[in-house]
């Protein structure tokens, strides 16, 4: 079966880049990305590519190449569903904020709405692909809705989780470690659907990197991959504190253990704590699933990854307060970075938010500079915590567009995101304009301790012993 027309529901961080890459690599397939968020669709359609809703290196170039040719952004959800042979569901699956499973389970209401809409609109057979990250066995719920609400058309459900990381999304999509497709191999229709999706990816992904499994393995592999990745960060962050107490250096430890091919060298950077929209949400979801099967030890094991991460963020802000003579009230502290990692404007669950909130509780004055995050986003992030009124946040925190201005008259600088540009600043100039003693708290371990100490800074680097 040759697919000619694809629809993707959800024009977010996953839907936008994944479909743009499919459109680029498959010029004969028409790809339409739909969303109920009109503003977001308008931004995807904006003439000025600087106004795309998502910043990802290499994305704007692909949008320019494909948009209006075989890639379309639209709010006409029903029309796109009707026209497509294959529909990707790429909507958000946040942690539930109400009812049973509140604060843990994935909220599947957006997924269910999509399934109901597809069922209502579809007049011909469709392949429905789960792109969103979902609890294991969600496909059976989607299938049940489609089969019971639909107009008697035949639906095949595939699981095709996305493994891209933000900041490297385009590179990850163009050259993925693997593409995972879960489907029903016990029926001929299931096989045909799997083959149709394999054929799409085969346009640019080597066959040996396309892996097929049963649907449940595919769904669970996505949660497992994120849990393992986050666990590595929490493990190295746990060791970072031991390093600080003992005089070891976490970067040396990471290098030493990473050279063991069984451990591997990636994802061993100690930090102020992991952020991003998925690690915490997916682990909480895993913990909830384990608990729902009565697997309490399994649940506790994975929950510890989050407990460690929360601890790392609090430990960082506590250290700032205690180092600044146990009070930061009225003191200016500069945040370099607000995004949850470099090369993205995404701030969801960024460690910077919690660290800022802790310091604002201590009445610090914070100045933030981030090369890609806009002021409205920063205040919205703090507002979401509901710790204090927006006006109070606005009286305590300012957002600067010039890093040197952000650092001027500051008592301390905290590095929250590992943006490359921070390494190349004129640190002598920054030092000369700061209050003395001038402190730097490097939560990403990116700055050179000796150079900064030679300038005169009192320098703390995460995971570095005295
Ligand atoms: N952000 C990431 O790097 C990754 C995310 N994922 C998973 O992909 C899924 C999507 O994540 P993001 O793209 O980050 O979310 P997002 O929040 O950026 O985008 C989701 C979009 O879906 C739209 N939407 C929701 N319900 C809709 C409906 N009924 N009809 C039409 N549009 C609807 C929303 O308006 C929003 O624009 C989640 O399950 C996430 O766990 C997976 C891999 C990477
Ligand atoms: O499901 C998802 O959403 C995605 O989640 C992560 O991708 P992402 O969150 O975009 O970015 P990562 O590079 O994984 O970084 C996550 C957080 O961990 C932190 N991190 C990462 C690596 C490291 O060594 N140390 C560390 O502190 C980063 O700074 C960041 O805050 C996974 O890497 C992707 O494979 C997955 O598809």
Residue among 355, 358, 331 nearest 416 (CA): 355
Query: Ligand 2, closest atom to CA 161?
Result: 37
Residue 458 DSSP symbol: E
pLDDT (tens digit, 9 = 90+) per residue, 190-227? 999 999 999 999 999 999 999 999 999 999 999 999 99
Which pLDDT score, from 0 to 100, does residue 328 have?
98
CB 185 within 8 A of CB 194: yes
- Answer whether residue 443 shows pLDDT above 80: yes
Mean pLDDT of the chain: 97
> Distance from the CA of 48 to the center of ligand 2, in angstroms?
29
Whole-angstrom Cα distance, residue 392 to residue 378? 14
Q: Is the peptide bond before 414 cis (omega within 30 degrees of 0)?
A: no
Q: Which residue has the tokens 């060298």?
A: 265
Per-residue pLDDT band at 142 (split at 50, 70, 90): very high
Query: Ligand 2, closest atom to CA 342?
Result: 29
Q: Which of 253, 270, 341 to mutate to test the pocket of ligand 2 (most atoms within 8 A of CB)?
A: 341
- Answer whether residue 411 shows pLDDT above 90: yes
Mean pLDDT for 63-67 is 98
Is residue 7 annotated as a catalytic residue, yes or no? no
Which pLDDT score, from 0 to 100, does residue 151 have?
85
ipTM: 0.98
Which pLDDT score, from 0 to 100, does residue 1 have?
84
Question: Percentage of residues in the chain with pLDDT exceeding 90?
Answer: 98
Residue among 425, 429, 397 nearest 332 (CA): 397
Which pLDDT score, from 0 to 100, does residue 157 have?
96
Catalytic hit among 7, 114, 278, 407: 278
Write the CA distances from 27 to 2, 20, 86, 109, 140, integer angstroms. Answer: 13, 11, 16, 33, 33
Which pLDDT score, from 0 to 100, does residue 465 have?
81
pLDDT (tens digit, 9 = 90+) per residue, 288-299? 999 999 999 999
CB 462 within 8 A of CB 438: no
> Distance from the CA of 9 to the center of ligand 1, in angstroms?
9
Mean pLDDT for 139-146 is 92
Q: Consult the annotation and say whether 97 binds a ligand.
A: no
Mean pLDDT for 319-335 is 98
Lowest mean pLDDT among 132-136, 158-162, 366-370, 417-421: 132-136
Mean pLDDT for 361-382 is 97
Which pLDDT score, from 0 to 100, does residue 150 have?
80
- Answer whether residue 152 shows pLDDT above 90: no
């Amino acid at each position: 079966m040759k697919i000619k027309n694809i629809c993707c529901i959800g024009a977010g961080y996953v839907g936008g880049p994944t479909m743009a890459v499919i459109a680029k690599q498959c010029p004969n397939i028409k790809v339409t990305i739909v969303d109920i968020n009109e503003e977001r669709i308008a931004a995807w359609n904006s003439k000025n590519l600087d106004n795309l809703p998502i910043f990802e290196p290499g994305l704007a170039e692909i949008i320019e190449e494909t948009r209006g040719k075989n890639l379309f952004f639209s709010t006409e959800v029903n029309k796109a569903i009707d026209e497509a042979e294959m529909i990707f569901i790429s909507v958000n699956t946040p942690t539930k904020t109400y009812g049973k499973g509140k604060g843990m389970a994935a909220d599947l209401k957006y997924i269910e709405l999509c399934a109901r809409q597809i069922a209502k609109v579809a007049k011909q057979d469709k392949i429905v692909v789960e792109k969103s990250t979902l609890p294991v066995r969600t496909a059976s719920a989607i299938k049940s809705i489609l089969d019971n609400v639909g107009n008697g058309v035949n639906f095949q459900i595939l699981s095709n989780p996305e493994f891209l990381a933000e900041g490297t999304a385009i590179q990850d999509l163009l050259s993925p470690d693997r593409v995972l497709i879960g489907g029903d191999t016990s029926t001929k229709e299931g096989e045909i659907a799997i083959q149709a999706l394999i054929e799409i990816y085969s346009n640019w992904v080597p066959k040996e990197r396309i892996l097929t499994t049963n649907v449940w393995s595919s769904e669970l592999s996505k949660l497992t991959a994120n849990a393992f990745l986050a666990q590595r960060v929490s493990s190295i962050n746990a060791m970072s504190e031991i390093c600080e107490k003992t005089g070891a250096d976490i970067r040396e430890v990471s290098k030493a253990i990473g050279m063991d091919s069984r451990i591997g060298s990636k994802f061993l950077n100690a930090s102020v704590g992991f952020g991003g929209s998925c690690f915490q949400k997916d682990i909480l979801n895993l913990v909830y699933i384990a608990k729902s099967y009565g697997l309490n030890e399994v649940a506790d094991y994975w929950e510890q990854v989050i407990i460690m991460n929360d601890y790392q963020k609090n430990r960082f802000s506590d250290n700032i307060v205690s180092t600044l003579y146990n009070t930061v009230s009225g003191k200016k502290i500069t945040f370099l970075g607000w995004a949850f990692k470099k090369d993205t404007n995404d701030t969801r669950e960024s460690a910077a938010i919690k660290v800022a909130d802790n310091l604002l509780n201590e009445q610090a004055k914070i100045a933030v500079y981030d090369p890609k995050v806009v002021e409205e986003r920063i205040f919205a992030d703090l507002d979401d915590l509901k710790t204090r009124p927006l006006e109070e946040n606005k009286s305590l925190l300012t957002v600067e567009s010039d890093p040197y201005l952000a650092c001027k008259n500051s008592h301390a600088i905290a590095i929250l995101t590992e943006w490359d540009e921070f390494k190349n600043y004129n640190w002598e100039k920054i030092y000369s304009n700061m209050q003395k003693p001038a402190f730097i708290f490097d939560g990403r371990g990116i700055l050179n301790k000796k150079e900064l100490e030679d300038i005169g800074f009192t320098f703390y680097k995460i995971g570095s012993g005295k």
